[in-house]
Structure 1
Amino acid sequence: MHFIPSTSPHPHPFLATSRLLLMGLLLLFIAGCATNSANTRPPEPDLSELAHKAAQQMVAGNPDITRYNPMIAATFVNIDNLTQSSTFGRISSEIMASALAQQGMQVREVKMRHSMFIEEKVGELILSREVQSLSSQYNARSILMGTYAQGQDYLYVSTRVVRSSDAMVLGSADFQVKLDNNMRSLLEGQGGW
């Protein structure tokens, strides 16, 4: 006598429910992982990272830029009003000067009561008398300048190093910074000098 095991097409109800429950949990876990990884973006680069990349770009674009040492840095100004800056404009200039110094530029420290700026009436690349006077006083062969504009989601920054003798652009770079609450607070100090 041979015993033939039962091959019933219907497994025990408890096993079927357990399998369905296990498969459902597995599918939920996989879906959760997929959603999590889709929503996880790398963080936006901060102002310091962007300035250092911009400095590298400037020097890579014109390796001779470092021959125009020493350099002084002007405060970055609001593109809509070249006589206006903010905490953002001042710190951007400082960070960019630091980044260029790490790329080989000799930066002369110039702290003064009134920051340097571009004279609006004679155009963006013509240096004001004050800047020309300072570059002569500090024997600066180049000047770091920059402008910024506030958009809805980003701040757009354009920066360049110009030769002090004739305002020729030696190097330039542009970047954008995510306009978050931190950046907004740096812009709140907008106003005259």
Structure 2
Amino acid sequence: MHLIPFSPLNLSVLRGLLLTFMTVVLSACSLLDTSSSAPPPQPDLSELAHQAAEKIVAGNPDITHYSPMIASTFVDIDNLSQSSTFGRISSEIMASALARYGMQVREIKMRDSMFIEESVGELILSRQVQRLSAQHDARSILMGTYAQGQDYIYVSARVVSTGNAMVLGTADFRLPLDNNTRSLLDDGGW
């Protein structure tokens, strides 16, 4: 058996080859790693509304004592007498999510005693709160506003006691303003 003597030159060449080999292997591994290349999908309105409902309940675990609750259509912050498909569906999703966390939600659209204007939805303004809460035997109301920005739509939701108008829980979130969100906002000027 014949051994090759190691000289500083041979050792340097061997280190260079090993370094080159390691660089090639690591580069190939990074190309195969797809877990970091694609960003996670943005949460949609339903996910964000459910997270907001969870925040509201976590912030006040006794909020279910203020059941039953009725939900009002979320309104445009710049015009509180105007809403959209976005405002209506946001309210519906939040009410559903709060029901999952134990709030008793009264469905007011099924009651004959409340007239819902087709062009307004079930908007609840401060002067109507006492009348509607008494009419539907509600101890709380889900209310919300939204504002359209350049890249996002901002939503603020809160559950308010009908007895003293105190805020029982609140949560805010923002949703990317994409074509889907724009179509929910641009539905004929509700």
Task: Tell me the TM-score normalized by structure 2.
Answer: 0.77
Moved more, 107-116 or 135-144: 107-116
Q: Give a deviation string over 1:80-131, Cα, whole Å, max 9, x none.
A: 1111100000000000000000000000001142333354xxxxxxx222x3
Specify the code of the residue in structure 2 equivalent to 1:173.
A
Give the 3-state SS of the residue equivalent to 1:128 in structure 2: helix
Residue 105 of structure 1 aligns with which residue?
Answer: 103
Q: Give a deviation string over 1:159-187, Cα, whole Å, max 9, x none.
A: 00000122110000001111111111101
Q: Distance in 1 between matches of 2:23 and 2:67?
A: 68
Q: What is the RMSD of the two structures over their aligned residues, measured on CA atoms?
A: 2.7
Residues 27 and 83 of structure 1: is their aligned pair in 2 closer, same or farther, counting only changes over 3 Å? Answer: same
Residue 123 of structure 2 aligns with which residue?
Answer: 117
Runs of 4+ in 1 over 3 A off after TM superposition: 22-34, 36-39
Q: Distance in 2 between matches of 1:54 and 1:190?
A: 28
Q: Give a deviation string over 1:12-42, Cα, whole Å, max 9, x none.
A: xxxxxxxxxx9999787556446x6554110
When the two structures are aligned, how many residues end up with a matched partner?
A: 171
Structure 1, unmatched stretches of 5+, are 5-21, 120-126
Structure 2, unmatched stretches of 5+, are 3-20, 110-114
Equivalences for residues 82-93 of structure 1 within 5 A: 82-93=80-91
User: Structure 1 residue 189 and structure 2 residue 187: aligned?
Assistant: yes
Q: Distance in 2 between matches of 1:107 and 1:190?
A: 29
Residue 171 of structure 1 aligns with which residue?
Answer: 169
Q: CA deviation at 1:144?
A: 0.1
Task: Tell me the TM-score normalized by structure 1.
Answer: 0.76
Specify the code of the residue in structure 2 equivalent to 1:81.
N
Q: Distance in 2 between matches of 1:41 and 1:30?
A: 19
Q: Is this contact kept in 2: 1:56–1:103, CA < 8 A?
A: yes
Residues 163 and 23 of structure 1: is their aligned pair in 2 closer, same or farther, counting only changes over 3 Å? Answer: closer
Q: Is this contact kept in 1: 2:73–2:124, CA < 8 A?
A: no
